[in-house]
Amino acid sequence: MTLKVLTITFNPTVDKSSTVDKLQPEKKLRCSMPVYEAGGGGINVSRGLERLGISSVALYPSGGRTGELLQELLSKENINSEPVPVAAETRENFIVVDTSHNNQYRFGMPGEPITDKEADALHKAIFAIDPLPEIVVISGSLPEGLSTDFLINLVKELKAKKIKVIADTSGDALTAILKEGVYLVKPNIGELSKFIGKEELDNESADEAARELVDKGAAEIVAVSMGPQGAYVVTKDECIHVNAPSVKKQTTVGAGDSMVAGMVAVLAKGGSVTEMARMGVACGTAATMGNGTGLFTKENAEKLYKWLSK
């Protein structure tokens, strides 16, 4: 038996979403019954992969009652879960939609600090996975206590074992990963502009900036997500721009994670870079058609992929 994909989420969450007729201050607001879903970058990638018929293992720190709920939610979605026990309570995020204007408000809570002992346990758990995966997706934010040095060393060790590392993070973590170099990185256009030191990028300059990262050895593949403008996927030999299909947008939660899931699904099947780009945009766009934190449906993703392949 071989394991194609391991996702790592260092700052997982349970996403709680609800709706309200009108969001206003100093009023008792009557909300709809909350919906609870597993969340965090890598976990969302695993959820997306499952919908596309690709099995993965989701590894993450888990603590307290929220951690138990997170494990239960993943089990209901048939996700292979590898929780690493920690002392602190797993965080929650809250998303509320004002139905009077269809405005979405996203409240992201910080994760509790990870201790040195827990960081060591996470490291050991990753390399205890048997068999080792062919692809590792590191996605989402870093909690306090996990240093960029931890991340750099982890990427080095994974690469030394000939594992393809895919990164979707931001800030100092993204900078550290790009300096070490990975197989694929997915910055948005704002993150890309910050990294190369330009105030602003547009559609015409995004591909040049991505090429700059490839030439520097930051990644073999750079996938630049540009929201409604689609994405650029750039390698040493190819530069592919895929326009996003026009759909009725309901949410933005999980669109980036869904894009990563689409690309990884194609990569796991041995598909081309063009197919990766199209499936990434199809899944990312399909995620905006849903509600709350439900990500995309397989039906919508496949329909959009066929449209993009015409």
- Residue-wise DSSP of 7-24: EE-SS-EEEEEEEES---
56-62 and 5-8: which strand pairing? parallel
Whole-prediction pTM: 0.94
Cβ contacts of 206 within 8 Å, gap of 6 or more: 189, 192, 224, 226, 232
* CA-based R_g, the chain, Å: 19
115-124, 224-233, 247-256 — most confident range: 115-124
Determine the angle formed by the axes of helices 171-180 and 189-196, rounding to 10 degrees: 60
pLDDT the model gives residue 208: 87
pLDDT the model gives residue 206: 84
Q: Token pair 């993070």 is at which residue?
A: 169
Q: Which residue would you say has higher pLDDT here, 309 or 50?
A: 50
Q: What is the DSSP letter of 31?
A: B
pLDDT band at 253 (very low <50, low <70, confident <90, very high): confident
Domain CATH code at residue 248? 3.40.1190.20
Predicted confidence (pLDDT) at residue 73 exceeds the cutoff of 80: yes
Listed in sequence order, the DSSP H helices in 34-76 are 41-51, 64-76
Q: What does the pLDDT look like over 104-144, one tens digit per residue? A: 898 999 889 999 999 999 999 999 999 999 999 999 999 99
257 catalytic per annotation: yes
Strand partners, 17: 35, 95
**In terms of residue numbers, what domain contains 150?**
5-24+32-308
- Domain count within the chain: 1
Q: Which residue would you say has higher pLDDT here, 61 or 1?
A: 61
Predicted confidence (pLDDT) at residue 162 exceeds the cutoff of 80: yes
Q: Which residue of the set 15, 168, 207, 257 is catalytic? A: 257
Which bin fits 292, alpha (ψ -120 to 50), beta or left (φ > 0)? left
The Cα diameter of the chain in Å comes to 58
